[in-house]
Amino acid sequence: MLHVTIIGMGLIGTSLGMALRSADEKDAPLGKILLTGYDKNPRAVTDARGRLAIDREARTLKEALHEAQLVIVAVPVQAVRQVFEEIGPLLPNGAVVTDVASTKAQVVAWARELLPRTVQFIGGHPMAGREKSGPQAAERTLFERAIYCATPTSETGERAMQVLEALVEQIGAKLYYIDAAEHDAYVAGVSHLPFVLSAVLVDAVSRSAGWKEMQPLASTGFRDISRLASGDVEMHRDICLTNHEALVRWIDEATSSLMNLREAIETQDSQALTQFFEQAQAGREEWLQSKPNMRPGEEFFENFGAGQAADRPSLFGRWGKPKQK
Amino acid sequence: MLHVTIIGMGLIGTSLGMALRSADEKDAPLGKILLTGYDKNPRAVTDARGRLAIDREARTLKEALHEAQLVIVAVPVQAVRQVFEEIGPLLPNGAVVTDVASTKAQVVAWARELLPRTVQFIGGHPMAGREKSGPQAAERTLFERAIYCATPTSETGERAMQVLEALVEQIGAKLYYIDAAEHDAYVAGVSHLPFVLSAVLVDAVSRSAGWKEMQPLASTGFRDISRLASGDVEMHRDICLTNHEALVRWIDEATSSLMNLREAIETQDSQALTQFFEQAQAGREEWLQSKPNMRPGEEFFENFGAGQAADRPSLFGRWGKPKQK
């Protein structure tokens, strides 16, 4: 019986609980688990219990961490530091601690600073989400087939990696080992820049004098490109604060691209416009085509030397252990 | 029996044919119709026939327009001018001509210049689409509950409006009368700016040295915000060319908004970030809330004086005739 504690019963924490508990105990990679949930807002814990995301509600952090063997910190990234401070003295020896925050370098630094040497930490980031937040928005299947980043450091122990691997397998996600700084730079481009552009679109049109009249003309294109603007304000703010350097670099890239396109539009340069949209179309097609190849242990390893053992997860930028076929 | 001719068997033309033909003849607002399809690419016409979008394939424009009473020009906006030139001498007296192009002021000007006085023209623009193109991507239900803009001018006759109203009703869309210039300014914000930002996102990240490694990290957020970048290159180019002034104004608005957000990120201004994302969230929520109210003749008329007859569709910016309850 593994004692698992989830701190933070928001969208991710609650969805994780639902996904973990719905696994068949006999085949579950983590084995039999006892899941305890905690949130500074007791209402969220009750809601999570009501959604069958946890076995037990904890009213204090001390209660939540008693006998805990795997602790998942599922709070917004700016709150992680304080949670680490508070749980530091309460963590049982040998516990594995992980988090789910959207940026990782800062979290890894906080873990090094604030968590005791008697526990093992490994950073995590499931690449899944919804524009809604809170336990009521949670979904048992949120992580199915999603990429789950893990950012071990040279200090990360074998057990932490094994436990996280089992957790990721149990919720149906795919493990992806990556360096924390690289993670932050990449997700700033494919995850944070998208919500920035989405919010900018809504900001630009909703400040317009014609906004009321424009609303009925907005169709599926607007709906999709503006979707992330409905996302959690606190999460967006915290990501901007903790990943500001990488994000500003991407904003500058996007601005430069936008200026190129603006120039082509203003000068009515048909050829430049065709080229721009063709490249964008091809870029997205490349991404779409890449998706079916994302099987653990396959293809990705071809980029590495054959001398490197494929089942060692300690090399950054690699898929997790190949599954038995 | 109404002879309807669709010129252009792309996504929109073929979907229109499918939607029109699937209506129950007895209750169909257009009554019994005979649908002829034409495309400069004969293969597209055959494909459209195979998808039950048309009754008859025409091999020449002359054949297509013989006895035509309603002509729907469903070609990319830049091709509209040439089609108008070619059909001008072939159009039967009294025919109603409409189009489906994404920008309207230019099309209205071409119609005035190139179509004979013996026909009636009314500009149209269904606010629906897909990122795929061609007759194979067509969908019978593409226009259901979608806004269908109509841009009559002072020269537009009553019959053209009646026929377009019936067409829009038959495909399950909602008619929205609007001035052509206003249409172009508004759709530049809610329809063209979105695909510009979508293409810019893909352009920025796919030119990066880390693009290969970033691809597996891209998740549902990237998928949605980049969706329009997969759209038809020719259509995007043509929209940029025919609506460049309005679009450049919106790009400048978006750039200004992006620069504000960049400043808040770089200076780590937590309060400014919260405010920005809160406003964007609220703006999108306002749009989402406005959707259920979009019933013809309701609410929208409240913004106009009671002295104006609600069933006259000739005032710009108004919904079509209120339905019988």
pLDDT digits (tens, 9 = 90+) for B179-191: 999 999 999 999 9
**Distance between CA atoms of A19 and A52, rounded to whole angstroms?**
10
- Treating both helix axes as pointing N-terminal to C-terminal, what angle do A42-50 and A11-21 enclose, rounded to 10 degrees? 30
How far is A317 from chain B, CA to nearest CA, in Å? 8
**Distance between CA atoms of A57 and A62, rounded to whole angstroms?**
12
Our measurement of the distance from residue A59's CA atom to the centroid of its chain's CA atoms, rounded to an integer in Å, reads 26
Q: Give the residue carrying structure tokens 């009515």.
A: A268
Listed residue (B304, B300, B297, B15) closest to B165, CA to CA = B297
CA distances in angstroms from B85 to B61, B78, B80, B90, B115, listed in the order given: 12, 13, 9, 10, 7
A219 touches chain B (CB under 8 A): yes
The highest-confidence range among A36-40, B146-150, B296-300, by mean pLDDT, is: A36-40
**With 70 as the cut, is the pLDDT of residue B298 above it?**
no
Residues of B within 8 A of A273 (CB-CB) are 236-237, 240-241
The residues, any chain, with a CB within 8 Å of residue B17's CB and separated by 6 or more, are: B6, B9, B35, B37, B48, B53, B54, B138
User: Residue A24: what pLDDT?
Assistant: 82
Q: CB B248 to CB A262 under 8 A?
A: yes
**Which residue in chain A is spatially nearest to B214 when comparing CA positions?**
A186
Q: What is the mean pLDDT of chain A?
A: 88
The residues, any chain, with a CB within 8 Å of residue A212's CB and separated by 6 or more, are: none
Three-class secondary structure assignment of chain A: CEEEEEECCCHHHHHHHHHHHCCCCCCCCCCCEEEEEECCCHHHHHHHHHCCCCCEECCCHHHHHCCCCEEEECCCHHHHHHHHHHHHHHCCCCCEEEECCCCCHHHHHHHHHHCCCCCEEEEEEECCCCCCCCHHHCCCCCCCCCEEEEECCCCCCHHHHHHHHHHHHHCCCEEEECCHHHHHHHHHHHHHHHHHHHHHHHHHHHCCCCHHHHHHHCCHHHHHHCHHHHCCHHHHHHHHHHCHHHHHHHHHHHHHHHHHHHHHHHCCCHHHHHHHHHHHHHHHHHHHHHHHHCCCCCCHHHHCCCCCCCCCCCCCCCECCCCCC
B28 touches chain A (CB under 8 A): no
User: Residue B274: what pLDDT?
Assistant: 98
A220 touches chain B (CB under 8 A): yes
Q: CB A189 to CB B196 under 8 A?
A: no
Q: How confident is the model at residue A25 (pLDDT cuts 50, 70, 90)?
A: confident
Minimum-distance CB partner of B218 among A190, A225, A230: A190
Tell me which H or E stretch contains B34. strand B33-38
Mean pLDDT computed over B31-46: 97
Residues of B within 8 A of A220 (CB-CB) are 128-129
**Which residue in chain A is spatially nearest to B287 when comparing CA positions?**
A215
**With 70 as the cut, is the pLDDT of residue A293 above it?**
no
**Which residue in chain B is spatially nearest to A231 when comparing CA positions?**
B281
Residues of A within 8 A of B274 (CB-CB) are 233-234, 237
**Distance between CA atoms of B103 and B187, rounded to whole angstroms?**
8
How far is A12 from chain B, CA to nearest CA, in Å? 15
User: Residue A299: what pLDDT?
Assistant: 34
Radius of gyration of chain B (CA): 21
> How many residues would you count in chain A?
325
Mean pLDDT computed over A23-48: 94
User: Residue B307: what pLDDT?
Assistant: 31
Listed residue (B134, B4, B1) closest to B56, CA to CA = B4
User: Residue A291: what pLDDT?
Assistant: 60
Higher-confidence position of B156 and A324: B156
Residues of B within 8 A of A183 (CB-CB) are 217
Q: What is the mean pLDDT of chain B?
A: 88
Q: CB A244 to CB B265 under 8 A?
A: yes
The answer to whether residues A73 and A8 touch, using CB atoms and an 8 Å cutoff, is yes
Q: How confident is the model at residue B291 (pLDDT cuts 50, 70, 90)?
A: low
Residues of B within 8 A of A214 (CB-CB) are 186, 189-190
**Distance between CA atoms of A55 and A90, rounded to whole angstroms?**
21
**With 60 as the cut, is the pLDDT of residue A127 above it?**
yes
Minimum-distance CB partner of A204 among B253, B270, B287: B253
How far is B36 from chain A, CA to nearest CA, in Å? 29
**With 50 as the cut, is the pLDDT of residue A70 above it?**
yes
Residue B90 burial (C-beta neighbours within 10 Å; 0-12, 13-18, 19+): middle
Task: Give the amino acid at B208.
Answer: S
Q: How confident is the model at residue A136 (pLDDT cuts 50, 70, 90)?
A: very high
A206 touches chain B (CB under 8 A): yes
Minimum-distance CB partner of B217 among A186, A214, A253: A186
- A226 backbone φψ class: left, alpha, beta (φ>0; ψ -120 to 50): alpha
Which residues 260-299 of B have a C-beta within 8 angstroms of A?
Answer: 261-262, 264-266, 268, 270, 273-274, 276-281, 283-288, 290, 294
Q: CB A261 to CB B251 under 8 A?
A: yes
> How many residues would you count in chain B?
325
**With 90 as the cut, is the pLDDT of residue A94 above it?**
yes
CB atoms under 10 Å from CB of A26, counted, come to: 7
**With 50 as the cut, is the pLDDT of residue A31 above it?**
yes
Mean pLDDT computed over A160-187: 95
Q: CB A210 to CB B226 under 8 A?
A: no
How far is B88 from chain A, CA to nearest CA, in Å? 27
pTM of the model: 0.76
Which residues 132-171 of B have a C-beta within 8 angstroms of A?
Answer: 146-147, 149
Interface test with A, best of B77, B174, B195, B205 (most A CBs within 10 A): B205
Q: How confident is the model at residue A322 (pLDDT cuts 50, 70, 90)?
A: very low
Residues of A within 8 A of B76 (CB-CB) are none
Which residues 225-244 of B have a C-beta within 8 angstroms of A?
Answer: 225-231, 233-234, 236-237, 240-241, 244
B253 touches chain A (CB under 8 A): yes
How far is B303 from chain A, CA to nearest CA, in Å? 11
Q: B88: which 2 tokens?
A: 């001008």
Secondary structure class of B278 (helix, strand, coil): helix
State what percent of residues in chain A have pLDDT above 90. 79
Minimum-distance CB partner of A266 among B248, B254, B300: B248
**With 90 as the cut, is the pLDDT of residue A160 above it?**
yes
Minimum-distance CB partner of B255 among A244, A248, A255: A255
The answer to whether residues B125 and B183 touch, using CB atoms and an 8 Å cutoff, is yes
